[in-house]
Structure 1
């Protein structure tokens, strides 16, 4: 029984008997055992039939069963359970860290705060967020993560700075584009400057 990925022999069963006798042996049980550990059958020289001893002198019969490693893909809709077995077989590899729903989801938060340069009351802050998801392909035999694919970059919605009578914001529109899943949370402070004003004082002679 051969692991084609590593090239290693998983086990060898040796049979003895007499010419033209049935061995009572098939590969079925061993194949099921390895499949229950995450292996995927590639080929079986016996074709699943019971081995019958031949009549060739001095030459041992030889049969090979080949396996590859099966894989499983996890995502937030079908997450894994870190530390728990991937397969039903005893001694199965376990789901690695980061394969649960939390490990397959990233959130980037944005907070836009407003501040008046003269310390007067400013508009309320605006908060929003982007959510990203990942899918991970796992080797069912070893529990190794073979690949990770995150959802594509996203854009935050543009936020126009609110009007405040007598003040002008230094940033008219807050825009954050092409944000990746692993970006840091975004904090933006928009400062309002007081507008220039004019006043005129007129002195009047009420009699004339």
Structure 2
């Protein structure tokens, strides 16, 4: 008698041999030649993919393969990652990295069959010369602009009104409008709006017209810087009559002598109430 020694089938990563080994066998006069075929079948493998928002550090969604994966075969997910990526881009996300390739095949270590797709939030700048309304679509997405970036949100006029009231009661109105503008950045995903600062403008100095015999108040309206916090203003200019003096002199025309002088005090255009009757 003799013996066929046990044979341990060589291991190949990703495959399972059948049989795993060939047992030792006693060989005697009745034993015939034998042939044993050992074959390898690809192991079942699993794969997963994760979609991540890098701005919020949150996982947006995950997906797995179809459950029929075998070592060495192309990896197929339940939903095509290209479609999922496009869906997120339509929602305003911007692709950063994607370590899954359509040519990837199952590896023997399932940890190597895990993939990640990273996004950040797309942003869109809106300028005051090209405002947007909620009926407008954000470029590259299927989403509409939020409220808050239309013409009146990015442009405003701040006015100083100067009313000049003359001594006769007539009013002259001077308008000093200043237009301010600002830009905005829209988060394409959340619709959150970040505004840039308003630009600045200026109300020019106004010199009050002079009227003889009267003093204006104020004498002028100073130049003023106008910014995003400035509110409409109204300035009223009035005139007060100046103090005046007058005198009445009584003369002796024959001698040229001054008989009497009455000094009067008053204001411009006001009646003195003085009469010469008593003195005459």
TM-score by length of 2: 0.63
User: Comparing 16-25 with 72-81, which one deviates more in the overlay?
Assistant: 16-25
Distance change in 2, residues 1:13/1:87 (3 Å):
farther
With CA pairs under 8 Å and 6+ residues apart, which has the higher RCO, 1 or 2?
A: 1
Aligned position for 1:20: 72
- Consecutive unaligned residues of structure 1, counting only runs of 5 or more, are none
Cα RMSD for the two superposed structures: 2.6
Aligned position for 2:208: 161
Distance 1:140 1:206 in 2: 99
Q: Given that residues 160 and 173 in structure 1 are in contact (C-alpha distance below 8 angstroms), is that contact kept between their aligned partners in structure 2? A: yes
Distance 1:179 1:58 in 2: 65
Q: Given that residues 207 and 220 in structure 2 are in contact (C-alpha distance below 8 angstroms), is that contact kept between their aligned partners in structure 1? A: yes
Aligned match for 2:145, one of 85, 90, 95: 95
Aligned position for 1:56: 108
User: Comparing 178-187 with 129-138, which one deviates more in the overlay?
Assistant: 178-187
The answer to whether residue 125 in structure 2 is matched with residue 73 in structure 1 is yes
Q: CA deviation at 1:74?
A: 1.2
Distance 1:63 1:78 in 2: 41
Q: For 1:67-115, what per-residue CA distance to the aligned partner results, in whole angstroms no more than 9, with x for missing partners?
A: 010111112112121365435645x3x4232210111112211111123
Q: CA deviation at 1:8?
A: 2.1
Distance change in 2, residues 1:23/1:57 (3 Å):
closer
Distance change in 2, residues 1:55/1:64 (3 Å):
closer
TM-score by length of 1: 0.83
Distance change in 2, residues 1:102/1:59 (3 Å):
closer
Aligned position for 1:2: 52
Aligned position for 1:191: 238
Q: CA deviation at 1:189?
A: 0.9
Answer 1 or 2: which has greater strand percent. 2
Structure number with bigger Rg: 2
Distance 1:52 1:81 in 2: 44
- Consecutive unaligned residues of structure 2, counting only runs of 5 or more, are 1-50, 256-280
Number of corresponding residues: 201
The answer to whether residue 234 in structure 2 is matched with residue 180 in structure 1 is no
